[in-house]
Amino acid sequence: MDTYEAINKRRTIRDFDSKQISMDIIEKIIGAGLKAPTNDHMRDWEFIIISDKNKRAEILNLIPKTFTGQEVEEWLDSWGAEDSTQREMYLEAVPKQYAMLYNAGCLIIPLFRQEGQLLQPESLSSLNALASIWCCIENMLIAAASEGIFGVTRIPMDNELRHIQKVLNHSDEYAMPCYIALGYPAQNAVDVQQKPVNMADKIRVI
């Protein structure tokens, strides 16, 4: 599979089959992530794979297990979200936040070294390490797609970050950008399409 085919094949999936992902493939996917550009050329990244379901439950303990459609609708209204495609995506995604992480064939907690306060950056350059780890994560998602594996990321809330640091006992020097859930799609997996865009509207030539 060539690069463009893998990029086009990548999908956000929240409904996973019970089939496990072999460690050889997980290492290939993380290896692709490690090829991403880094702000300081040091690749100060770590990846914690949560295989044990009891440990997963402990890590995900602060994520609500259920949301009603009405709760999501009210949240979207308060947020001012009016686009139908966007609302459809959230109505599909929000109720599955816990299940998609718990049931995934592989749950990865990526960590990156962060100097200074991530949420109180002194300048745009202070976010270089965050930008680099997201390049790494996108490489991983594309590599996964080339293996017929799909996934989803979820950015943790502040209270989740403190909880996860306590459970995993990771250093204060490292920050967590998101959860990465990977797996083979369930037979009835919902494939929510991105909002269509016109490329000409996104490009300016000066």
Give 72-107 pLDDT, tens digit per residue: 999 999 989 999 989 999 999 999 999 999 999 999
Model confidence over 17-39: pLDDT tens digits?
Answer: 989 999 999 999 999 999 999 98
All domains of the chain in start order, with CATH = 3-202 (3.40.109.10)
The DSSP symbol for 120 reads S
pLDDT digits (tens, 9 = 90+) for 154-180: 999 989 999 999 999 999 999 999 999
Other residues' Cβ atoms within 10 Å of the Cβ of residue 202: 7
Q: Calculate the alpha carbon distances from 47 to 43, 44, 103, 149, 169 in Å.
A: 12, 11, 19, 18, 14
Confidence band for 119, pLDDT divided at 50, 70 and 90? confident
CA 23 to CA 25: how far, in whole Å?
5
